């Protein structure tokens, strides 16, 4: 490995702290330099309180196999039911070689912003792409490369302490999503 960067909020730590590993001998130019911190590789002072907060819960590592199995089962149930109950829905990517709490689904003839509004009104948080594409109505370049058009990439993520992490939350999504997709498709049909 030449370089590795990790942001702590991606694995249940606080926002802000991160780490960066650079193999000796790898050339790199720095956006900021200063003092002799980390052999002149970074400027500023470490966020010690933030880093300590990220270290405080040692139980996560011990419970990870159980958490991965639980989230994988919930994700599989969600995906199976969505594909069984919503016509012209598809799972993007591999069904099991993915993060345990992540499902990426596309729905033909559905405008993402309208569906997300319907889901939000029912208390369901979903997104139509990655955080770096917020506000961008264009389809995901990755989904287009996979052969999908302007369908919705409705990501549902579950986590150790986030939602949907409980079977009742999955059932709520499954009770709302088919009607929401149908409603958005009716709206689209009326505007064509």
Q: Supply the residues annotated as catalytic.
A: 132
Radius of gyration of the chain (CA): 21
CB distance 118 to 171 below 8 Å: no
With a CB cutoff of 8 Å and minimum separation 6, the contacts of 129 are 112, 136, 140, 153, 155
User: What is the rounded distance in angstroms from the CA atom of residue 94 to the CA atom of residue 104?
Assistant: 10
| Element spanning 83, H or E | helix 59-85
């Amino acid at each position: 490995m030449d370089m590795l960067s990790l942001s702590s909020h991606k694995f249940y730590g606080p926002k802000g702290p991160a780490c960066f590993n650079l193999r000796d001998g790898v050339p790199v130019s720095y956006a900021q330099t200063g003092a002799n911190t980390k052999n002149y590789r970074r400027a500023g002072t470490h966020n010690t309180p933030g880093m300590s907060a990220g270290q405080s819960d040692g139980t996560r590592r011990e419970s990870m196999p159980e958490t991965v199995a639980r989230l994988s089962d919930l994700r599989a149930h969600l995906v199976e039911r969505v594909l069984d109950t919503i016509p012209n829905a598809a799972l993007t990517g591999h069904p099991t070689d993915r993060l345990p709490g992540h499902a990426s689904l596309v729905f033909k003839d559905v405008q993402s912003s309208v569906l997300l509004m319907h889901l939000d009104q029912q208390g369901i948080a979903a997104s139509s792409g990655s955080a770096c594409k917020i506000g961008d109505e264009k389809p995901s370049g990755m989904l287009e490369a996979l052969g999908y058009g302007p369908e919705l990439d409705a990501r549902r993520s579950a986590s150790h302490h986030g939602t949907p992490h409980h079977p009742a939350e999955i059932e709520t999504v499954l009770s709302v999503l088919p009607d929401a997709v149908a409603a958005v498709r009716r709206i689209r049909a009326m505007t064509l």
